[in-house]
Amino acid sequence: MMEICDLNVCLTDFSLKNINLKVKQGDFFAILGPTGSGKTLLLESIMGIVPLSQGKIYLKGRDITRLPLEKRGIGIVYQDHALFPHLTVMENIFYGIKYQNKNHEELKENAVCLIGQLGIKHLVNRFITNLSGGEKQRAALARALAVKPDVLLLDEPLSSLDPNFREEIRDLIKKLHMQTGITIIMVTHDFTEAHFLARQTAIIHKGQIEQTGTVSEIFLHPITPFAAKFVGMKNIFHARIENNQAWVNSLSLRITDNQNGEYIGVRPENIQLIFEKNQDINCFQGSVSKITNQGFYAELDIKTQDIEWRTIITANMLMNLKLKQSDIIYLSIDPGDIHVF
Ligand SMILES: Nc1ncnc2c1ncn2[C@@H]1O[C@H](COP(=O)(O)OP(=O)(O)OP(=O)(O)O)[C@@H](O)[C@H]1O
């Protein structure tokens, strides 16, 4: 549906290199990456705001690489909403319709329907400056969708919102995607957001795509240390793999058969904490080196020989166990939970 072929953008100090992506009709696609990785620049290239030094962009089979934004069939919701402050909500939503080469009556009906779906009927005569962050985001979504674009681009749609609105708007975006079936490409630095909303995802790092796949594929099988870290695999170590053993410094861990690579990764939630050594295959003694209370849960750093592991436990469990720094504890790791890449 949207195909990005060999896209390159060269700026003075930054480049997007050989970007290839395919987004299917009706899909929700997340481009995930840390700050400065090139996410917004990629959206801007899709919109035609920054010139490509190489590459093609196709939308529904049409080559849109050189078309002006209004002819591309793309709607966008910016991080800061970018609504017109001197216009009312209604005027903002209807603004783009007059520039469309489509049936205006149909688009107006569609806009009215969106106003209902987004729950902003009571706000239509208000000016933008008087709205809350969540209300602005609803108005921005209605404005972008009012012209019935073929694809909707969302630039970090939740990051500027107060945490109270974040969940509400996240649910709303999901519902809207299901109701309209529109193709969405969202950029975000938050894997949890992508996990909740998207089906397909691409991880971008320093202007290059590191991995693409379904959200669960990338969550379960990251293929680079960067991707692994990004999806919450906090224990990533350089390792020497020999048959079904992984050596990290002087520690040997049993892994499942037929795996090969240079790194191992273990999720903190997959490390079990126990008080006595048992017969588990990977059971190691360690000592608590740091406890970081995070409210509902706590992060425990545990040192075994020369390796520091990050584990998590619930706040309740931490209280019950009365754990403190330097306490001796055992870690148990199932070989199936050790990922090699
Ligand atoms: N028009 C431009 N001219 C020169 N450099 C630019 C331009 N736009 C972006 N950059 C640079 O390109 C790099 C990537 O920027 P981009 O805004 O795409 O990052 P991002 O992944 O969206 O980050 P964030 O999550 O912080 O928004 C940055 O180093 C930025 O300074």
Q: What is the pLDDT of residues 320-336, one digit of tens each?
A: 888 899 999 999 999 99
pLDDT of residue 258: 84
pLDDT reading at 162 higher than 90: no
pLDDT of residue 71: 87
Of the candidates 294, 293, 280, 292, the residue with the CA atom closest to the CA atom of residue 330: 280
Phi, psi (rounded to 5 degrees) for 67 = -80, 150
Q: Do the strands 235-238 and 263-266 form a parallel or antiparallel pair, or are they unpaired?
A: antiparallel
User: What is the edge-to-edge ordering of all strands in the sheet holding 54-59?
Assistant: 15-23, 2-10, 54-59, 62-63
How many whole angstroms from 41 Cα to the centroid of ligand 1? 6
Of the candidates 141, 9, 138, the residue with the CA atom closest to the CA atom of residue 77: 141
Query: CB burial class (10 A; 0-12, 13-18, 19+) of residue 339?
Result: buried
Q: Which of 11, 35, 187, 191 to mutate to test the pocket of ligand 1 (most atoms within 8 A of CB)?
A: 11
Q: Which of 14, 46, 47, 80 to mutate to test the pocket of ligand 1 (most atoms within 8 A of CB)?
A: 14
User: What is the edge-to-edge ordering of all strands in the sheet holding 200-205?
Assistant: 74-77, 151-155, 183-188, 28-32, 200-205, 208-214
Considering all CA atoms of the chain, what is the largest pairwise distance in Å, rounded to the nearest integer? 73
pLDDT: is 117 or 228 the higher one? Answer: 228
User: What is the edge-to-edge ordering of all strands in the sheet holding 339-340?
Assistant: 235-238, 263-266, 339-340
Cα–Cα distance for residue pair 314/298, rounded to 1 Å: 6
pLDDT of residue 100: 78
| C-alpha 80, offset from chain centre | 18
How many whole angstroms from 1 Cα to the centroid of ligand 1? 26
Cα–Cα distance for residue pair 157/166, rounded to 1 Å: 9
pLDDT reading at 270 higher than 90: yes
Structure tokens at 181: 């079936």
CA-proximal residue: ligand 1, atom 11 (nearest):
14
Q: Which residues pair with 140 in a beta bridge?
A: none
| Torsional sign, CA 272, 278, 281, 285 | positive
Residue 104, SS3? Answer: helix
Residue 135, SS3? Answer: helix
Phi, psi (rounded to 5 degrees) for 182 = -70, 150
pLDDT of residue 194: 93
What 8-state DSSP symbol labels residue 80? T
pLDDT of residue 30: 97
Q: Work out which ligand 1 atom sits closest to the CA atom of 13.
A: 5
Task: Name which of 34-38, 103-107, 122-126 the model is least confident about.
Answer: 103-107
CA-proximal residue: ligand 1, atom 28 (nearest):
36
What is the average pLDDT value for the chain, to the nearest integer?
92
pLDDT reading at 164 higher than 80: no
pLDDT of residue 79: 80
Q: Work out which ligand 1 atom sits closest to the CA atom of 159.
A: 25
pLDDT of residue 130: 84
Pocket of ligand 1, beta carbon within 6 A: 11-12, 14, 33, 35-41, 189
Measured in Å, how far apart are the chain's first and last C-alpha atoms? Answer: 31
pLDDT of residue 50: 93
ipTM comes to 0.95
- For 4-42, the pLDDT digits (tens) are 999 999 999 999 999 999 999 999 999 999 999 999 999
- For 62-82, the pLDDT digits (tens) are 999 999 888 899 999 988 778
Cα–Cα distance for residue pair 50/7, rounded to 1 Å: 12
- Predicted model pTM: 0.88
DSSP H or E run through 308: strand 307-314
Q: Are 48 and 67 in contact (CB under 8 A)?
A: yes
Alpha helices, DSSP H, located in the chain = 39-47, 89-95, 104-117, 133-146, 163-180, 191-197, 215-220, 225-230, 315-321
CA-proximal residue: ligand 1, atom 26 (nearest):
35
Q: Work out which ligand 1 atom sits closest to the CA atom of 11.
A: 4
